[in-house]
């Protein structure tokens, strides 16, 4: 955690340097600044997983004279897919967006002005693939397909392939979780340890958590009668939205994602080395 805290301090210092440069150049008042992060800390059950800590990330916006009152906060559900329609609404002066395909996300320009208008009662998150080398089983390696919906304090997760390992095959190093002291500690405990099972064990087809009472998503409420109505409602809402967005997983064509080629399969990764290519030329 101390290593992670140092990274946060370094990131904060870099942002401070950028803001100072904008002020010195006189461009600060003309610049919309958005500060956010990758999806979650590089710890077990966080980055690369479908739990609240992986998707509850910082989202800070600054635009002097254009964004609500200084220091104002909005407790709303927003997603990265909302950025494109926001930019188009704020900056598409010449109508260049005309003729584009419909955008799934919703503009948050109303939030930035401090006058929320749209109903943002839920947000959808999901995952398909991360480290394909950890997933033998198809020409490109299999992912771990999940979709989830957060509505109010409830977080519902649907695992489309619960027979798969969520972090990759344990024999290959659980590569869907970044290396860290916490990962080393948990993996050394072995599969019989409850912490190992929470982090890397196979998961049921459905999970339901009450973030208000269980922010770490430890207690699965999917099988409790008291939450049966909530489970059914969130499942229906999630599938409705996924079908509306034509998600192949919701339309029975989930194997589409499993067949995408990967540039890392077969021992290659990324473009060829430029120096080697230049050296091979006559």
For residues 151, 154, 158, 164, the Cα torsion angle rounded to the nearest 10 degrees is: 130
Mean pLDDT of the residues in the chain: 84
How would you class 43 by CB atoms within 10 Å of its CB: exposed for 0-12, middle for 13-18, buried for 19 or more?
buried
Nearest-Å Rg of the Cα atoms of the chain is: 22
Read off the pTM: 0.84
Q: Tell me which DSSP letter residue 151 carries.
A: E
Q: How open is the CA angle 85-89-94, to the nearest 5 degrees? A: 120
The CATH architecture that domain 121-258 belongs to is: 2-Layer Sandwich (3.30)
Vertex 169, ends 168 and 172: CA angle to 5°? 100
Q: Where are the domains of the chain?
A: 121-258
Angle 101-102-108 from CA coordinates, rounded to 5°: 135
State whether residue 208 is helix, strand or coil: strand
**pLDDT, tens only, 233-254:** 999 999 999 999 899 999 999 8
| φ and ψ at residue 157, rounded to 5 degrees | -120, 135
Give the three-state DSSP class for 123. strand
Per-residue pLDDT at 94: 65
For the cut 70, the answer to whether the pLDDT of residue 21 exceeds it is yes
Whole-number pLDDT of residue 138:
44
If pLDDT is split at 50, 70 and 90, which confidence band does 276 have? very low
As given in the structure block, the two tokens for residue 69 are 């009152």
pLDDT at 73: 77
Of the two residues 264 and 254, the one the predictor is more confident about is: 254
> Is the model more confident about 1 or about 248?
248
Give pLDDT, residue 212.
94
- Neighbouring residues of 278: CB distance < 8 A, sequence distance ≥ 6: none
């Amino acid at each position: 955690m101390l290593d992670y805290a140092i990274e946060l301090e370094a990131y904060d210092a870099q942002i401070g340097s950028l803001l100072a440069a904008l002020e010195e150049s006189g461009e600060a008042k003309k610049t919309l600044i958005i500060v956010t992060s990758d999806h979650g800390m590089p710890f077990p059950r966080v980055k690369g997983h479908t739990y609240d800590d992986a998707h509850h990330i910082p989202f800070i916006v600054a635009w002097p004279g254009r964004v609500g009152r200084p220091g104002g906060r909005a407790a709303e559900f927003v997603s990265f897919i909302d950025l494109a329609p926001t930019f188009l609404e704020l900056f598409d002066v010449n109508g260049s967006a005309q003729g584009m395909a419909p955008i799934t996300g919703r503009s948050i320009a109303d939030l930035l002005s401090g006058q929320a208008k749209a109903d943002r009662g839920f947000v959808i998150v999901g995952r398909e693939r991360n480290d394909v080398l950890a997933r033998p089983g198809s020409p490109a390696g299999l992912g771990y397909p999940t979709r989830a919906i957060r509505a109010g304090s409830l977080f519902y997760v649907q695992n489309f392939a619960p027979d798969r390992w969520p972090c990759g095959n344990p024999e290959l190093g659980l590569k869907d979780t970044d290396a860290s002291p916490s990962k080393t500690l948990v993996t050394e405990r072995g599969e019989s340890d409850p912490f190992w099972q929470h982090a890397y064990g196979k998961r049921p087809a459905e999970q339901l958590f009450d973030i208000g009472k269980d922010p770490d998503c430890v207690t699965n409420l999917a099988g409790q009668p008291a939450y049966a109505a909530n489970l059914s409602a969130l499942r229906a809402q999630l599938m409705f939205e996924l079908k509306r967005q034509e998600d192949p997983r919701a339309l029975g064509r989930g194997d589409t994602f499993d067949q995408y080629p990967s540039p890392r399969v077969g021992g290659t990764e990324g473009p060829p080395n430029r120096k080697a290519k230049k050296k091979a030329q006559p």
